[in-house]
Amino acid sequence: LASLFQWSVEDPSFTRTHFCRLSEGPPLPMKIDAGELLPWARQQLQASKAVVFSSLDELPPEAARDKVPFRDLGIKSGVGIPLSAGGEPPVGGLTFNAAREARGWPPDIVPRPHPVAEVFANALARKRSEQALRESQERLDLATDAEGVGLWIIALSTEQVWVTPNIRQLFRFPAGRPLPYEDFADAIHPEDHETVRLGVTNSIETGMPLNLEFRLAFPDGSVRWVNSRGRPQPSNPGEPARL
């Protein structure tokens, strides 16, 4: 039977996310309090060490507590590989266990699961990074919504603009489509075009912060004042890449 477990700093318990068993056997719990039930195995995996045993009797004395859940689950021998990507601390483990009968794990067999474990580890690292980015974006949106502030970034090489949702609402831009800088220029009151153009150009050329007040003019004839602040961010010394 093979399992993929994950854990986090907030919850060090082993959470089973993937599982495959070729024969019937005792049910495998979704979550295991590894500190209580598998203290030795948890210590090994979280220290980036593989867990390898050909029989329960082969386990070291400090794994005495681990033998109980192994026996209850019908595990007779096994290999556990820590999941770690890019030198980061492990975020889970990939285990292959024999349940029908005990088996040996020759030295040439044990390294074989490692490439598989690396694939899983890299996938998990990407997933966690994407989740952290989404959570960061959600916190950012909550903060800006609460303060009535919108955020924007202009990529100077492409003149494409990233904005928070409330900026789209303020400028009455439709959701979901890319925003070229021309769309912003079109929304600015004709009498304020030159003021904005000079302010942006000066900030890019001098590296000074941008601080502008200008009007938005909408097709229905309404007008709204906006205060916009920014600063150039270089990608190379002396070369602004974003505003």
DSSP string, 82-96: EE-STTPPP-EEEEE
Q: What is the pLDDT of residue 238?
A: 60
Q: Which residues does the chain have with pLDDT short of 70?
A: 143-148, 236-240
- Residues 40, 7: Cα–Cα separation, whole Å: 16
The answer to whether residues 56 and 74 touch, using CB atoms and an 8 Å cutoff, is no
Q: Which pair of structure tokens corresponds to residue 191? A: 């009498």
Give the pTM: 0.56
Q: What is the pLDDT of residue 97?
A: 92
Nearest Cα to Cα of residue 38 among 57, 66, 64, 14: 66
Question: For the chain, what is the largest distance between any 2 Cα atoms, rounded to a whole number of angstroms?
Answer: 85
Q: What is the pLDDT of residue 146?
A: 61
C-alpha separations of 240 from 163, 182, 194, 232, 237 in Å = 19, 19, 21, 6, 8
Q: What is the pLDDT of residue 54?
A: 94
Q: What is the pLDDT of residue 137?
A: 77
The answer to whether residues 33 and 44 touch, using CB atoms and an 8 Å cutoff, is no
Paired with 52 in beta bridges are: 79
Q: What is the pLDDT of residue 71?
A: 92
- Residues 90, 170: Cα–Cα separation, whole Å: 44
The answer to whether residues 34 and 7 touch, using CB atoms and an 8 Å cutoff, is yes
Q: Which pair of structure tokens corresponds to residue 92? A: 């889970």
Q: What is the pLDDT of residue 211?
A: 93
Mean of pLDDT over the chain: 87
Q: What is the pLDDT of residue 140?
A: 72
Q: What is the pLDDT of residue 235?
A: 72
Q: What is the pLDDT of residue 144?
A: 66
Task: List, in sequence order, the alpha helices (H) in the chain.
Answer: 34-37, 39-46, 64-72, 113-147, 165-171, 181-187, 193-206
What is residue 221's DSSP assignment? Answer: S
User: Which residues have C-beta within 8 Å of that of residue 131, sequence separation ≥ 6?
Assistant: none
